[in-house]
Amino acid sequence: MSNMICTVNPLTGETLARYQQDDIETVRGTIDRTAAQYTAWCRTPFPERAALFNRLAERLRAHADEYARIMALEMGKPVREGRAEIEKCAWVCEYYATHAARFLADVPVDTGARKSYVTYRPMGVVLAVMPWNFPFWQVFRCAVPTMMAGNTMLLKHASNVSGCARAIASLFLESGAPDHLFSLLVISADRVAEVIAHPAVRAVTLTGGTPAGRAVAAEAGRHLKKVVLELGGSDPYIVLADADLDESVSKCIAGRMLNAGQSCIAAKRLIVVRSILDIFTHRLIDGMSRITWGDPMAPDTGIGPLARRELRDELHEQVTESVRCGARLRLGGEIHPGPGALYPPTVLDNVQPGMPACDEELFGPVAVIIPAETTEDALHLANQSSFGLGGAVFTADTNQGEQLARDAMEVGCCFVNDFVRSDPRLLFGGIKNSGFGRELGIHGIHEFVNIKTVYVR
């Protein structure tokens, strides 16, 4: 069975499906056909590209319930969150259908020549190595701008969401995409290197953990291929003394608990100044205790199970080790009996540097409260992390909040008085161990193009 990929329901532990991996010849043939399709797609006018992605948006909305159900079964996302994820995919399709031509328009440069300008030309075949936590959005987030720019795409999706991967590939064909404009590779992670090495693959984008990012970056570097990495995060949310407590607690819970906390940009470290620490903690525990958890198919479920049992067990070990190091368990923190991967909403306070809850990424529904003495202390705690994806500041003084967000927080995106989230209109990406390169906005569509100078004397 080593050549099979299995998907498992994380609520019940039952096997959902088994998929045969593509053999070497099938992988090579898929890459070759995707490269052949590029020669036609790169010459396709922008209005025709836009028409395809507008049709994709229509079909996504028409089948939102179906796709949400697949996500719920394969990785435990509540169906209401799944429907919201599909709507976001439709939004990014329409956004780039509207704006791609303008984003990629030639830029004149005055050099004294008769004509000189910068132009943006597609590169070829781009490989996307995508994670399971947002199994539709992560794919569309990178695929739409990349393909609107004139590239074709290969998808190697996370094995535990193989049903989602197949649904996405079918969606392109059902929306009228040419064969092998968007191609699915059914392979395990240890075979990504052979795809990167193929001469027709010109670039790689990966969303996932930092170890996977290092491996893919090393392989891409070996073959001198462009790579964009969106990796892990341990996002700090600084709550200052003058913050609106009700609003900041609400936003911190929303930022921590979306997708059962399984998000790179979740609110993973709540750094709270000591003068409001007790009341903030009390209100946070109260709010977290009200979250319903269980069957992701139920309409009133707040969070479903984690995506896999081993991920649940790893999270629980991080929680228990932090408690052994002196953190206080204020809510949850107990493994739910049964075959699935349920884990309750959990709160740790008195968390300090040196504990897993402070130094590592906790990928699950665990709110971590870290005390700070002053604004400067809070900023120091926020920036000492090896990650640098997102962050937030809560304060009544929006000028101070903006200054901290703009000049002081060592992250790729920082929000003031709100939780961090991606938006097609804004660039997205991190620094330090959270990766490099950008997605979304105008910057995202420029990542996988040949930015070329043309000079006419």
**Among all residues, which ones are annotated catalytic?**
230, 264
Q: Which two tokens stand for residue 133?
A: 């936590």
61-95 CB burial, b ≥16 within 10 A, e <16: eebbeebbbbbbbbbbbbbbbbbebbebbbbbbbb
Calpha distance 411→383 (Å, rounded): 8
Calpha distance 174→97 (Å, rounded): 18
Q: Which is nearest to 384 in space by CA: 350, 406, 358?
A: 358
Q: Which two tokens stand for residue 437?
A: 């390169």
Residue type, 394: F
Is there a contact between 282 and 246 (Cβ–Cβ < 8 Å)? Answer: no
Calpha distance 417→398 (Å, rounded): 8
End-to-end CA distance of the chain: 63
CA separation, residue 245 to residues 170, 276, 290, 401 (Å): 46, 9, 17, 15
Calpha distance 132→139 (Å, rounded): 10
> What sign has the CA pseudo-torsion 51, 53, 58, 63?
positive
Kindly report the CA angle at 57 between 264 and 165, in degrees rounded to 5? 55
Length in residues, the chain: 457
Calpha distance 32→154 (Å, rounded): 11
Cβ-based neighbours of 457, under 8 Å, separated by 6 or more:
113, 114
Q: Name the residue with tokens 């964009």.
A: 228
